[in-house]
Amino acid sequence: MGLFRLLTFILVVLVAWRMIKNYQAKVKADRPQKKIPVREKIVKCEYCTTHIPEDEAIADGEIWFCKQEHKELFYQNNS
């Protein structure tokens, strides 16, 4: 009689575990997926070497600056 109870208990646990896994998969499938943001191109300021997103940087040809003041200082020091 003990072996029958053990097997029944194992069967109940396995069925419950499988039901929980199916429920979790269903909930995950029903949940709206988060959109992964597109990575922006990062550029380096030539004056202070700070890395900033390209859309926030000031471009001068292929040279990038984090602010106008750094652009002016860069050209003052290099002329």
Q: pLDDT digits over 50-65, tens only? A: 999 998 999 988 899 9
Radius of gyration of the chain (CA): 30
**pTM attached to this predicted model:** 0.50
Range of the domain at 57: 42-77
- pLDDT of amino acid 37: 75
Instruction: Read off the pLDDT band of 31 (50, 70, 90).
Output: confident
Give the pair of three-digit tokens for residue 44: 């380096």
Q: Is residue 57 part of a domain?
A: yes
Q: What is the pLDDT of residue 29?
A: 82
Q: Rounded distance, CA 52 to CA 65, Å?
A: 9
In a domain, 10, yes or no: no
pLDDT at residue 36 is higher than 90: no
Mean pLDDT of 25-30: 85
Collect all residues with Cβ–Cβ distance below 8 Å to 71 and sequence separation of at least 6. 47, 58, 60, 65
Structure token digits, residue 4 = 């029958």
Question: How many distinct structural domains can be found in the chain?
Answer: 1
